[in-house]
């Protein structure tokens, strides 16, 4: 017997009902208490780690450079993404609240995807920055000036908002021919769009948004790293290759952490692979919740300058004694 109330029949066309129904991790609804603490801990650690990155970059004039500006934007997107996911996740674990008003669902969907595309765009900008620094080191300061970096930042903001502002309005007025039960613990626009009647053009716009950001960005990022790899092979000594490779290691780890679960989820959905629902849900949590938690650790450990500045700021200042 389904835990959700009966919805409209699959072949009947309906306008949006007042609620969407979310699913949690199967089998955990009866005992939610044990994963409430880890969920809250993951969120608080994500905010703490990213806030530390934001604080150290803002406070240290020596870090006011393009690479660290993009890292600043990455931390902003990580905090925003983790925060946007929390309302429905906490509602499920604390109150077993599966029903979400359509307006609240669309609002969460908007912010989740804005910050998700922002993260993807920033990762692309960081790949572009590293490719320029390694492939064109002599021209790097003149190509990536402060004015160019500001324009890249504004482009990222306009891209995120421009792609996603129409979606809540389109999805709110689409006809729906399927029960409004979503397959995740939060509201995602591909999940909502698949419930629409065949031929609803809002669903086609949703697909365009996914392909134009999450489809294009990883291709350009891996192309940039292909160029970097070719340059690294031509460097004389292994020490030079090691130093150059270390500057990219944290970023490449962040790229893989963000895109690999997303690509696996897309393959599972498109190929209709027989993956158990708990595994599918867990992969979704990994895609959305792990990058905000792990990225600050990656950049603090792998980037020597960030690590040293944080340690220097945290060390107690020595007070001299007067004779």
Residues of the chain with pLDDT under 70: 1-18, 25-34, 198-203, 235-241, 243-247, 270, 317-323
Residue 35 phi/psi, 5-degree rounding, is -105, 5
Q: Are residues 58 and 101 in contact, defined by beta-carbon separation less than 8 angstroms?
A: no
Q: Are residues 109 and 189 in contact, defined by beta-carbon separation less than 8 angstroms?
A: yes
What are the pLDDT digits (tens) for 64-93?
Answer: 999 899 999 999 999 999 999 999 988 888
What is the reported pLDDT for 57? 92
Q: Are residues 289 and 115 in contact, defined by beta-carbon separation less than 8 angstroms?
A: no
- CA-nearest of 26, 23, 28, 21 to 7 is 21
| Residues 6 or more apart whose Cβ sits within 8 Å of residue 319 | none
What is the reported pLDDT for 262? 85
What is the reported pLDDT for 109? 92
Q: Does an H or E element contain 21, and which?
A: strand 19-21
**The domain over range 19-311 is classified in CATH as 3.40.50.2300:** no
Which sequence spans correspond to the domains of the chain? Answer: 19-311
Q: Are residues 192 and 105 in contact, defined by beta-carbon separation less than 8 angstroms?
A: yes
What is the reported pLDDT for 320? 54
What are the pLDDT digits (tens) for 125-160?
Answer: 999 998 898 888 888 889 899 999 999 999 999 999
What is the reported pLDDT for 1? 40
d(CA 288, CA 78): 9
What is the reported pLDDT for 15? 52
What is the reported pLDDT for 51? 95
What is the reported pLDDT for 237? 64
d(CA 130, CA 251): 9
What is the reported pLDDT for 183? 81
- CA-nearest of 282, 293, 213 to 45 is 293
**b/e map 164-188, b = 16+ CB within 10 Å:** beebbebbeebebbbbbbbebbbbb
């Amino acid at each position: 017997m389904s835990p959700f109330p009966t919805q409209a029949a699959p072949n009947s066309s309906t306008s949006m009902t007042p609620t969407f129904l979310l699913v949690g991790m199967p089998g955990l609804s009866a005992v939610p208490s044990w994963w409430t603490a880890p969920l809250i801990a993951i969120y608080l650690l994500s905010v703490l780690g990213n806030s530390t990155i934001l604080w150290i970059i803002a406070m240290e004039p020596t870090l006011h450079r393009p690479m660290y500006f993009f890292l600043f934007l990455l931390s902003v997107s990580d905090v925003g993404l983790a925060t946007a996911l929390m309302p429905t996740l906490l509602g499920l674990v604390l109150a077993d609240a599966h029903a979400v008003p359509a307006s609240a669902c669309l609002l969460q969907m908007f912010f989740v995807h804005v910050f998700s595309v922002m993260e993807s765009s920033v990762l692309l900008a960081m790949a572009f920055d590293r490719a320029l620094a390694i492939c064109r080191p002599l021209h790097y300061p003149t190509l990536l000036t402060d004015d160019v970096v500001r324009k890249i930042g504004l482009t990222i903001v306009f891209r995120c908002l421009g792609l996603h502002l129409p979606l809540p309005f389109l999805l709110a007025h689409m006809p729906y021919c399927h029960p409004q039960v979503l397959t995740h613990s939060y509201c995602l626009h591909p999940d909502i769009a698949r419930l629409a009647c065949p031929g609803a053009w809002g669903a086609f716009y949703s697909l365009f948004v996914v392909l134009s950001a999450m489809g294009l960005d990883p291709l350009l990022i891996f192309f940039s790293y292909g160029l970097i790899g070719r340059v690294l092979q031509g460097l004389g000594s292994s020490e030079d290759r090691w130093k150059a490779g270390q500057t990219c290691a944290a970023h490449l780890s962040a790229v893989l952490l963000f895109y690999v679960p997303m690509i696996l989820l897309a393959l599972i959905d498109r190929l209709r692979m027989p993956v158990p629902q708990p595994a599918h849900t867990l992969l979704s949590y990994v895609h959305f919740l792990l990058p905000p938690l792990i990225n600050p650790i990656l950049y603090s450990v792998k980037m020597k300058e960030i690590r040293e500045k944080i340690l220097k700021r945290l060390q107690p200042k020595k007070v001299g004694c007067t004779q």
